[in-house]
Amino acid sequence: MSGLFQLSKVETLVAQDQKLIFTLASYVLILIIYINLNLPQSPILGLAASLSYFLINGIFLGRAFFEKEPAFFRLMFGVLLLIMLLGFVGWLVIIIYNLDVTRFTLVLFIVATLSSLLNKRVENKNVT
C-alpha cells in the first residue's frame, strides 16, 4: 500500500510538470542517451536514462488517457502507450528513410514532446 502511495505522489509531482521541469528533464535524458550511444556505450547508464524517460513520459500519457484508472494501471497503460508511440513514430521514420542514431534521437524527442503536450492539455482542463 505504501508503495502505491509513493507511486501516486511521484505521479502527481511529474504530471503537474511545473515550469515544464519534467519535460526538460526528459530532453536532458534524451541528450544523455544520445551521448551514451556515441561515447561510453554503457548499458547501465542507458538503462537508468531509459527507465527515467519511460517513467516521466509514461506518467504523462497515463494521465492524459487513463485519469480514472488506479495509479498502477495508469502507469502501465501510459508505458504501453509510450511504447506504441515510439514504435509508430519509429516505424514512420524507417519507412520515410532510416532509423540511424540522429533520427532515433529525433523519435525520442518527438514522442517526449507529444507526451508532454497531451499531459499539459489534461492538466489545463483540470485547472479550468
Partner 1 sequence: MSPNRQGFPKLLHIGEILYLFLIALSFYLLFLSRTGEARTVWEVLHPAFIPTLFVTTSLLLTILLASREGAHNLLFVIVHSILIHSLFSIVFPAGDLSGQQMALGRTRLVYDNAILHGWPPWPIETIQSQIYTRFGGINFQAALSVIFARMLSIDLLWVHLFLVPVLGGVFTPIAVYLTTYTFTKNKKVAVLASLLISAFPYATYFGAISVPNSLGFIFFFYSLYFMLKNLDSNDSKTTFLMLAFSFFSLLSHNLTGIISFSLLFLSLAFKSYRGEKSPSITAKISLVTSFILCASLLPFSLIYLRLFRAGTYTAFTLEKFYELPLEEIAGLFLIGELTYGFNLETILLNVIGPALALLYMIYRLYRLKKNPTAEFRIHLFFLSAAFLMILVDYRILKLFMEKLPLNEERLWVFRDFIAAPFVALAIYAAGSSLKTFLKATSLPTISLSSLKALPKRTVLHVLSLIFTLNFAGLRALCKRNSLRILSMLFTLNILIPLVLGGWITLSLSAAYPQVAPLQTTWYELEAVKYIEENTKEKYVVIGDSWTIFAGEMIVGLNNPRAYYFGEYNKTGYDLFVNMKQEPSPQWMLLAMNYTDTTTAYFIVTEPRLGTEEYNRVVTQALQNDDIQVYGVFGEGKLYVFYYEK
Question: Which residues here bind partner 1, judged by CB under 8 A?
Answer: 1, 4, 33, 36-37, 41-43, 45-47, 49-50, 53, 65, 70, 72-73, 76, 80, 83-84, 86-88, 90-91, 93-101, 104, 107-108
Q: Which is nearer to partner 1, 39 or 127 (CB)?
A: 39
Closest approach, Cβ 116 to partner 1, in A, equals: 18
How far is Cα 97 from Cα 59, in angstroms, rounded to an integer?
Answer: 30
Q: Which is nearer to partner 1, 18 or 102 (CB)?
A: 102
Q: Which is nearer to partner 1, 14 or 81 (CB)?
A: 81
**Nearest Cα to Cα of residue 67 among 10, 2, 125:** 125
The CA distances from residue 63 to 45, 91, 110, in Å, are 27, 25, 18
Is 119:52 a contact under the CB 8 Å cutoff? no
How far is Cα 106 from Cα 114, in angstroms, rounded to an integer?
Answer: 12
Closest approach, Cβ 36 to partner 1, in A, equals: 5
